[in-house]
């Protein structure tokens, strides 16, 4: 099949996990013989995504508008000139990205695809009305997990043209000698618990910090590493001091050596209150690191409780503490869970699989007569025609 010219675009001003998803998709599309272009805001928070795209050789034109947002007049001119086959909008929340979809439609792009990265949560009737209007301008929708799709279906917002394409990632390269090890504690018995997420309320850090005194009372010398930054940092630092665990909680800030941190951690924890299908959980699985996570939308499709890690109820510090202690108490069992997670990653959550299924959606959007049956069902001939290589590309 001929390669496609695909414009991947987000209006998210802080495209953290969403940006990583777009980058891995772009790199793998390129490896499969397609021509991706990546467009994002020119905000400070989006600079890393743009830098990584440049390193990977992915074109990423700057179209800055007010406050660094994507300027839609410039976007329209670019799309008209570039003559892309597919415009693929990535939405971090359901009410963003509407304007860029309309711009692509007005510019005459043959196919418009939109990925919803998070569950539908709004109870505002106006949001529903706007989303229904958006649906008429999009040829195909993608949901990143079955459970995300279920939330849209429950709100009567899942169109017939929607497919589930579960997130996938490019497995990180082995750490280099220049990367920093995390075991910098005086106690040789110290165990490390790592979480990687922006410091915002929905990531549930407050419950993880509240779990730490329970773990320490069990005479397990644990240090909690929080990689990431955000508006909740001062509140979380104060909570750590108030609970008397400040010396055991380490705020690492934004890091670019996440694979090294994961390799060094004894357990990875993601205490989020809601997600779509978190990429960092897949990174932990690919790093052979045991996972403890909350049993919320999407995460339960990656982690199998008691097989590849532990799942607990959200907003429950005692349950988190018990699950973390469960992992730390039996290193052989933890290693079995980590190995099972590693195998599950390679079987179900690679960027190659995600890209093949996404290309099937693109083909169906361009030629509506072609079905796009993906997301756990039997794939169509769209995926089996041609010889696209396995796990193309690597992260820069």
The tally of domains found in the chain comes to 2
My answer on whether 209 and 285 are in the same domain is yes
Q: Are 162 and 238 in the same domain?
A: no
Q: Does residue 308 belong to any structural domain of this protein?
A: yes
The half-sphere exposure of 98 on its side-chain side, counting CA atoms within 13 A, is 14
Inter-residue contact 230 to 200 (CB < 8 Å): yes
Neighbours of 155 (CB within 10 A): 17
Between CA 47 and CA 52, with CA 7 as vertex, the angle to 5 degrees is 30
Read off the pTM: 0.90
Q: According to DSSP H, which parts of 38-145 are helical?
A: 47-55, 72-82, 98-106, 125-135
For residue 183, pLDDT beyond 60: no
Same domain? For 332 and 360 the reply is no
**Does residue 186 lie in a domain region?**
no
DSSP string computed for 198-224: -SSGGG-HHHHHHHHHHHHHTT--EEE
For all residues of the chain together, what is the average pLDDT? 90
pLDDT greater than 90 at residue 177: no
Tens digit of each residue's pLDDT (9 = 90 or more) over 29-75: 999 999 999 999 998 888 889 999 999 999 999 898 888 899 999 99
Residue 299 has a pLDDT of 97
pLDDT of res. 45: 83
Residue 184, in any domain of the structure: no
Chain-centre distance of CA 167, in angstroms?
7
201 and 336 fall within a common domain? yes
Phi, psi of 90 (to 5 degrees): -115, 120
Q: Helix (H) and strand (E) counts for the chain? A: 14, 12
How confident is the model over 332-361, as a mean pLDDT? 98
Residue 303: domain span: 191-348
Tell me the average pLDDT across 187-216. 95
- Average pLDDT of 223-235? 97
Once rounded to an integer, what is the mean pLDDT over residues 98-117?
Answer: 97
- Shared domain check, 197 and 129: no
Residue 396 confidence (pLDDT): 35
CA dist., res. 208 & res. 250, Å (int): 13
Phi and psi torsions of 100, nearest 5°: -70, -30
Q: Quote the tokens at residue 7.
A: 């414009």
Report the candidate in 390, 364, 387, 388 with the shortest Cα–Cα distance to residue 375: 364
Question: Is residue 390 over pLDDT 90?
Answer: no
* 190-202: burial string, b at 16+ Cβ within 10 Å, e else: ebbbbbbbbbbee
Distance in angstroms (rounded) separating the CA atoms of residues 272 and 289: 18
* Residue at 150 is within a domain: yes
CATH of the domain at 205: 3.40.50.2000
**In terms of domains, do 20 and 135 share one?**
yes
């Amino acid at each position: 099949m001929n390669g496609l010219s695909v414009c991947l675009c987000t209006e998210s001003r802080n495209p953290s996990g969403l940006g990583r998803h777009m980058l891995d998709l772009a790199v793998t599309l390129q490896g499969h013989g397609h021509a991706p272009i990546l467009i994002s805001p020119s905000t400070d928070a989006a600079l890393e995504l743009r830098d990584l795209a440049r390193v990977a050789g992915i074109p990423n034109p700057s179209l800055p508008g007010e406050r660094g947002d994507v300027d839609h007049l410039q976007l329209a001119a670019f799309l008209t000139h570039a003559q892309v086959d597919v415009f693929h909008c990535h939405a971090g929340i359901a009410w963003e990205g509407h304007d860029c979809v309309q711009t692509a439609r007005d510019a005459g792009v043959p196919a418009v695809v939109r990925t919803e990265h998070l569950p539908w949560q709004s109870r505002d009737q106006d949001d529903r009305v706007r989303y229904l209007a958006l649906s008429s301008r999009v040829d195909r929708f993608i949901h990143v997990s079955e459970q995300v799709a279920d939330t849209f279906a429950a709100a009567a917002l899942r169109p017939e043209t929607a497919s589930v394409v579960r997130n996938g990632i490019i497995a990180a390269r082995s750490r280099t000698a220049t990367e920093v090890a995390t075991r910098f504690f005086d106690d040789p018995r110290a165990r490390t618990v790592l979480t990687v997420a922006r410091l915002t309320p929905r990531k549930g850090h407050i419950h993880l910090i509240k779990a730490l005194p329970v773990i320490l009372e069990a005479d397990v010398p644990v240090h909690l590493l929080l990689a990431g930054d955000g508006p909740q940092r001062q509140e979380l630092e104060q909570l750590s001091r108030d609970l008397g665990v400040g010396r055991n909680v380490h705020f690492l800030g934004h890091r670019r050596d996440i694979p090294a941190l994961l390799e060094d951690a004894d357990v990875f924890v993601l205490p989020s209150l809601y997600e779509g299908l978190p990429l960092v959980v897949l990174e932990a699985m690919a790093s052979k690191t045991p996972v403890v996570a909350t049993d919320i939308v999407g995460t339960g499709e990656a982690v199998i409780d008691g097989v590849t890690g532990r799942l607990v109820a959200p907003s429950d510090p005692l349950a988190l503490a018990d699950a973390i202690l469960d992992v730390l108490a039996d290193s052989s069992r933890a290693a079995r869970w980590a190995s099972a997670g590693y195998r599950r990653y390679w079987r179900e959550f690679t960027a190659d699989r995600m890209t093949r299924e996404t290309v099937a959606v693109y083909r169906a959007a361009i030629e509506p007569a072609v079905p796009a049956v993906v997301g756990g069902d039997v794939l169509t001939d769209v995926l089996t025609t041609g010889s696209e290589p396995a796990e193309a590309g690597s992260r820069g």
